[in-house]
Amino acid sequence: MIKLTFRIFASLFLFAAIVACDQGEQAYQPEFTEQSSSSANIYLFGIHPLHNPQRLHKLYGPIMGYLEQNIDGAKFKVEASRNYNEFDKKLYAGKFDFALPNPFQTLNSLQHGYRVFGKMGDDENFRGIFLTRKDSAIELPTDLKGKKVSYPAKTALAATMMPQYYLQTHGVDITQDIENLYVGSQESSIMNAYLGNVSAAATWPIPWLAFQQEHADKAALLELKWQTEPLINNGLVARDDMPDELVQRVATLLSTLHESPEGQIMLAKLPISRFELADDDTFNVIQDFLNKFHQTIPNQPE
């Protein structure tokens, strides 16, 4: 299952790399703003910290350009955040006009003036993974007792909450048996394993594949040890005051992006196969997971 899952992602990365060599890539610079710009028909599209801000702009900037080309008079800007805490603050304060939060943040955003209009596809690939150094003696989850494990942030669903649930249900009391380090980003979590600062790093497939592509020498010293069961992928939300016609147009453009060669190139770089239509009820499964999570591991983020 692990090999099959990553073969799919690796194929998408290879396709994107080939196209990039042929066409070149436009550089996108990070922008950090303090307020929404929708009054000037400039819409802030917040992307949660899947990658560092520079990489987020590089990957999602072309998609913003695609929306602009197909929606008269509208401008879309990627709004990157330095870490999960910063993204959470912006999202829950309503700073974004549109956003791509993780599923946990998506569910919470419904209580802060947002509505769901879509999601990333490929749910089977939304899962947590554990990385260890190849020269470590870690073989079973219980081998982590008395050791350190790194995660991006407490509110990272695939890269923190799902791995912690996995450990808790595989013989490790995460509140007593291990030291949990929340290091701010996906790449930082991976680097902590590479540097030997922790015995295992939790992340999810997309950042790990990006790390393999960008830091092949370091990645060669790591291995994927375990993976969780999958859950629903990241959501697409719009603030409640966004015009229905605009939200529907964005939803249609994103959910049909895979139907054109141009769109397939953009998606392959993320890498996903498509975006899909969704609504608030689509994310009820996240509440089901959270109920299990909190019953199993008390005193964790709500």
pLDDT one-digit tens code per residue, 223-236:
999 999 999 999 99
With cut-offs at 50, 70 and 90, classify the pLDDT of residue 157.
Answer: very high
Asked if the model's pLDDT at residue 296 lies above 80, the reply is yes
pLDDT confidence of 140, banded at 50, 70, 90? very high
How confident is residue 302, by pLDDT bands cut at 50, 70 and 90? low
Residue 9: predicted pLDDT: 52
**Does residue 49 contact residue 152 with C-beta atoms inside 8 Å?**
yes
- pLDDT over 70 (residue 252): yes
Confidence grade of residue 51 (pLDDT, cut at 50, 70, 90): confident
- Spatial distance between the Cα atoms of 280 and 112, rounded to a whole number of angstroms: 13
Residue 172 has pLDDT above 60, yes or no: yes
The proportion of the chain whose per-residue pLDDT surpasses 70, expressed as a percent, equals 86
Q: Which domains does the chain have, with CATH numbers?
A: 2-124+232-290 (3.40.190.10), 127-229 (3.40.190.10)
Distance CA 154, CA 242 (A): 30
Token reading at 133: 């150094």
Model pTM score? 0.83
> What's the rounded mean pLDDT across residues 183-197?
96
For residue 32, pLDDT over 80 is answered with: no
DSSP readout, 157-225?
IIIIIHHHHHHHTTT--TTTTSEEEE-SSHHHHHHHHHTTSSSEEEE-HHHHHHHHHH-HHHHTTEEEE
